[in-house]
Homo-oligomer: A and B are copies of this chain.
Amino acid sequence: MGVMSGRIPPAASLVAELGRMVGREHARAPGAAELTDATEVAGLRGRADAVVAPATPEEVATVVAWCYEHDVALTPRGGGTGYAGGAVPDGGVVLSLRRLDRVRALDPGLWRMEAEAGVTTATVARRAREVGLRFPPDPGAAESSLLGGNLATNASGPHGFRHGPVRAWVTGLEAVLAPGELVRLGGPVRKDVAGYDLVSLLVGSEGTLGVITAAWLRLVPAPEATAALAAAFADARAGQGGVEAVLASGVVPGALEFLDAGTLAATGRDERFLLLVEVEGGEAEVRREGDEVARALAEAGALRVEARAPADLWRWRAGVSHAVASRRGGKLSEDVAVPVDRLAEAVDGVLAIGARHRLEACSWGHAGDGNLHGTFLLDPRDAGERARADAAAQELFALALALGGTVSGEHGLGVLKRGQLARQWAPAAVAAHRAIKAALDPKGLLNPQTKQP
Contact = CB atoms under 8 A, between A and B. Distances in A.
Interface of A: 107-111, 132, 153-154, 156, 160-161, 164-165, 167-168, 177, 181-198, 200-201, 203-205, 209, 220-221, 224, 244, 247-248, 250-252, 281-282, 284-285, 288-289, 337-341, 366, 368-371, 404-413, 417, 420-421, 424-429, 432-433, 435-440, 451, 453
Contact of A197 (B161, B200, B244, B413): B200
B338 A189 contact: yes
B337 A407 contact: no
Contact of A190 (B189, B284, B285, B370): B370
A329 B451 CA distance: 54
B196 A201 contact: yes
A425 B205 CA distance: 20
A194 B339 contact: no
Nearest to A154: B193
A272 to B, nearest CB: 24
Give the number of copies in the complex.
Answer: 2
A204 B198 contact: no
Nearest to A397: B194
A156 B196 contact: no
B196 A433 contact: yes
Contacts of A186: 406
Contact of A191 (B156, B201, B440): B156
B193 A411 contact: yes
Given A197-B203, A250-B132, A192 B284 contact: no
A337 to B, nearest CB: 5
10 contacts: A110-B244, A167-B197, A183-B428, A184-B429, A189-B338, A191-B371, A192-B405, A193-B406, A195-B424, A200-B201
Contacts of A195: 413, 421, 424-425, 429, 433, 451, 453
Contact of A404 (B187, B339, B429): B187
B438 A196 contact: no
A177 B165 CA distance: 26
A18 to B, nearest CB: 22
Contacts of A425: 183-185, 195
A209 B196 contact: yes
Most chain B CB within 10 A, of A183, A192, A250, A368, is at A192
Nearest to A422: B195
Contacts of A185: 425, 429
B371 A196 contact: no
A194 B432 contact: no
A193 B251 contact: no
Contacts of A181: 426-428
A108 B250 CA distance: 10
Contacts of A168: 164, 168
Contacts of A198: 429, 432-433, 436
A435 B439 contact: yes
Contacts of A109: 244, 247-248
Nearest to A179: B428
Which are the 7 A-B pairs with shortest beta-carbon distances? A200-B200, A181-B428, A435-B439, A191-B409, A439-B439, A192-B406, A221-B250
A284 to B, nearest CB: 4
A1 B154 CA distance: 35
Contacts of A339: 110, 187-190
A184 B368 CA distance: 23
Contact of A340 (B187, B190, B248): B190
